[in-house]
Amino acid sequence: MSSDLKSQLAELMRAALLSVAPGEGTTEIHIERPKQASHGDFSCNLALQLARSLKRNPRQLAQLLVSELPYSSLVDRSEVAGAGFINFHLAPAARRQVLRGILQQGASFGRSTSGGGRKALVEFVSANPTGPLHVGHGRGAAYGDSLAKLLAFAGWSVTSEYYVNDAGRQMDILALSTWLRYLELGGPAGAPVSFPPNAYQGEYVRDMARQMRAAHGARYQRPLSQLTAGTPGLPDALRTDADAARQRESHLDALIANARMLLGEEWKYVHDFVLTEQLADCRSDLEETGVHFDVWFSEQSLFATGLVARCVERLAKAGHLYLQDGARWFRSTAFGDEKDRVVQRDNGLYTYFASDIAYHLNKCERGFERLINVWGADHHGYIPRVRGALSALGIDASILAVALVQFAVLYRSGWKCGR
């Protein structure tokens, strides 16, 4: 409604201008809120704009314009201030007009059509489905959902989307972690299984194992000795050096490979079971806070449709990739990134960055004119490489806007208790 008042005041000023300087009648008139309430409800700098071209003193020109202002029941008084500003003090009738508009429009008060129905995609939260959401995710959810609703209110055609990272190693680690706890439940008197230190440790993993045991009994039970056969040993638990870290990761990868072999096609069930459980938990938490997504987009679909491979080949044909140490690298530094990035490892597997490039290409192919990502502040370094990849694909990178949300730190009785 303030925009309506602005337009009405602008028309009053135009009428005055036509009386004072008819040749300047097409001049754009700006009505703004003054910084100090004592300067009125609205202010206009038209006299300052035109003083030079009309060869007049700006303050005298402002006084002349005020004297030519038509009567309006919306204006209590108009006065010249400073070097030539014209300040408007609204009459009670103007405030009643605003209140009537609020009551008449109800929940639509303030809605605009500035978006023009253009398509915008707001992607937010998108936490890996490998554990419960934390406070930081909740903060991003509140921000992203509010942003999506504001854009829709401003006339954009908005889709809110959660990108599900359901492909790759982290999901395999969660599936293995749950299956190990499942095996533990089926062992003699619940004997503990030697659990890798870099597997998922939370109680939620034990909960999923119990659910799997309750639903399927011993169907997925396998000899523990076969699972650990041929796996490299673990380093001393106190070691924190890089070699020790690599040994732990190699041990974990060997366990995943053995689990896949032992379970065969049933490995997919375990994988999909933990994914379904985690997404259901995530969805429930978000819905409790009033956050509902239009689309839950699966990373796996990018591989199933071959888009990741096609995207990488498109970059290669455009001359943006090079081979080094058996891996394919994207020339990210050519687009302002601090270093080049691997898109395909020497073992043929695509990196997370490769699937992320494909995901953003998919967004564009779906016809969105504005892409908005809400990321945690720790992802700030990821922005140049994604924008660079869009540019390399021939897409205007300005289509992408990234809002960074800082972590939240909670304290209880003076003690830090989470993000």
> Total structural domains in the chain?
3
Asked whether residue 300 falls in the same domain as residue 356, the answer is: yes
SS3 165: coil
Of 40, 63, 95, which residue constitutes the final position of a domain?
95
For residue 416, is it within any domain? no
Has residue 109 been placed in a domain? no
- Torsion from C-alpha of 203, 204, 210, 215, nearest 10 degrees: 180
Q: Are residues 178 and 266 in the same domain?
A: yes
Same domain, 271 and 303: no
Predicted local confidence at residue 73, as pLDDT: 92
Which among 195, 180, 291 has a CA at the least distance from the CA of 237?
A: 195
Question: Domain check: are 237 and 337 in the same one?
Answer: no
> Could you tell me if residue 335 is inside a domain?
yes
**Domain assignment of residue 104, yes or no:** no
321 shares a domain with 338: yes
**Residue 363 is assigned to a structural domain of this protein:** yes
- Of the residues 254, 277, 300, the one at which a domain ends: 277
Residue 33 lies in a domain: yes
Q: 176-228, pLDDT tens digit by residue? A: 999 999 999 987 655 567 889 999 999 999 999 999 999 999 999 998 888 98
Domain span at residue 144 reads 119-167+282-411
pLDDT value for 1: 45
Query: Does residue 85 belong to any structural domain of this protein?
Result: yes
CATH number at residue 140: 3.40.50.620
CATH code of residue 31: 3.30.1360.70
For residue 107, being part of any structural domain is answered with no
Distances (CA, A) of 343 to 124, 351, 359: 23, 5, 13
Our CA angle for 287, 292, 296, nearest 5°, is: 115
Residues 161 and 66 in one domain: no
Judge if 243 and 392 occupy the same domain.
no
Per-residue pLDDT for 157 more than 70? yes
Encode pLDDT of 6-28 as tens digits. 999 999 999 999 999 999 989 99
Asked if 142 and 191 sit in the same domain, the reply is no
77 and 133 assigned to the same domain: no
What's the rounded mean pLDDT across residues 385-410?
94
Same structural domain, 302 and 332: yes
Please count the other Cβ atoms lying within 10 Å of the Cβ belonging to residue 68. Answer: 14
Q: Which of 61, 95, 129 is the last residue of a domain?
A: 95
Highest-pLDDT range among 34-38, 172-176, 406-410: 172-176
Residue 352 pLDDT > 60:
yes
Q: Are both 188 and 138 inside the same structural domain?
A: no
Tell me: the pLDDT tens digits for 36-67?
A: 988 999 999 999 999 999 999 999 999 999 99
State whether 159 and 173 are in the same domain: no
- Can you tell me the distance from the alpha carbon of 119 to that of 113, in angstroms, rounded to the nearest whole number? 13
